[in-house]
Homo-oligomer: A and B are copies of this chain.
Amino acid sequence: MDENTQHDCSFLADVLPEERFSLDRAERERFAADEGPHPASVPDAVARPHSTAQVSAVLAAANERGVPVTPWSGGSSIEGNPIPVEGGVVLDTFEMDDVTIRAADRQAVVGPGVVYDELNTAAESAGLRFAPGIAAGDVATVGGMVANNASGLNAVRYGQTREHVYRLEVVLPDGEVVECGRDVVKTASGYSLRDLFVGSEGTLGVVTEATVALEPIPRVRRAALAVFPTREAAGEAVAAVMRSGITPGAIEYLDTRTMEMVAARTDVDVPEAPTLVLEVHSESDAGAKAALEAVRERCEGAGVSEWRAAAGDDIDDVWQARRDVYPAACDYREGATVAVIGDVTVPVSKYPDIIRATVDAADELGVTTPCVGHAGDGNLHFLPIADLDDEDEVARAMALNDRLVAAAIDVGGTATGEHGVGIGKRKFMDREHANAVDLMREVKDAVDPDGVMNPGKVLPDPDE
């Protein structure tokens, strides 16, 4: 045990083959930070199990010694969810990537390391897909999606990861292996332990296999870009569409400033006004046409000033502005980048309020930020820009985030719609959940009495 480590992890040699773990510094440093702004922390060892039995052996041995274990898969999270803040073992499940498609059951049985896009490639020939839909589908894994209850811009119609999980094989902190849930669409049998592990961010155990639901790939998609004279008109259109009987596949809001940032980066004609990007999905071409027509009527009722509809391959063009938001924010100012990604959700009726609050807070704090999000389900993202060497500017970006998280919670919303609590949102847990945090803590203590699983995440310290 050298001076740079917190826990003696030499026990891994007793439970894993030599090639399945490393105590090497350079290797360990690869697992010190995710894609977010939270400080890196180098683990004392990296274990790379290839089987449930190996995961079990590592957990049993670590638990016995009080050594923390932090699960890791894609590493694409941004709230510090897999950062090993107390050292110990990072358990990298990325290579547990078996996929079995059960087309007749509309199911896939997958290892936690299966990358989202790869699962969908495997399911495609059966006309199926894993529907939660996330932005980082090329790197995020199913294990990470389950851990964070991840989702993306299609959640308005298809829901979060939680709604697409049937069964989880989980290794508990003491090494015991349990099956949570069954490979069926419906069950009313017993406590839903499965749902306890979904979204628990690796703090209760390690998912080693999942049976997930596959859905038919939408037969027909149509999309439109709708430009509005004012933010209020766009908000009115969102409300009208969501009340119309049509549930769009996506309904994205981009505010004027965001559109200006996108316009500055491209030669393509980008309307510099509040904009919605809408997509409808249907089981038939006739259905898609009718759905988009119904959406257009609602947008006209709200005073839409420009309507660009698209079908087939042209749908990509409609999405161009939305796709460009993050790169446009990163490129917006020489030497600056996105300092933190905001991710609040509010009741849909409060969406216009939280957008206004974002713009006002940004002005007051002197922060530049896109303001963009999944308007149909109340999930708003803001991406304050800062020079990361400018402490004051970074502090103002973080203050914007803090202020808006608090505002979202205070109108009945949540600190995180998609990205999880990790390190970044722990300080808001009491504000959001009040005394339910005590009950979460009791559950944690029952499942992980020694507190070895991913310590320092999700739950705030009792005295914080």
Contacts and interface: CB of A to CB of B under 8 A. Distances in A.
A19 to B, nearest CB: 31
A163 B163 CA distance: 7
A155 B185 contact: yes
A378 interface: yes
A193 B379 contact: no
Interface residues of A, number: 101
Given A104-B239, A287-B290, A433 B179 contact: yes
Contact of A290 (B179, B284, B379, B444): B284
Given A287-B284, A412-B183, A188 B160 contact: yes
B421 A189 contact: yes
Given A217-B245, A287-B284, A412-B184, A196 B189 contact: no
A188 B346 contact: no
A17 to B, nearest CB: 27
A186 B155 contact: yes
A348 interface: yes
A185 B432 contact: no
Interface in A249-266: none
Nearest to A379: B186
Contacts of A437: 190
A282 B286 CA distance: 11
A104 B286 contact: no
Interface string A175-203: 01011101111111111110110111000
In the complex, the 3 A-B pairs of residues with the closest C-beta atoms, listed nearest first: A287-B287, A284-B290, A195-B195
Given A159-B163, A446-B446, 12 more contacts: A106-B242, A155-B186, A176-B435, A179-B434, A179-B436, A182-B414, A188-B417, A189-B421, A216-B243, A216-B245, A219-B245, A286-B287
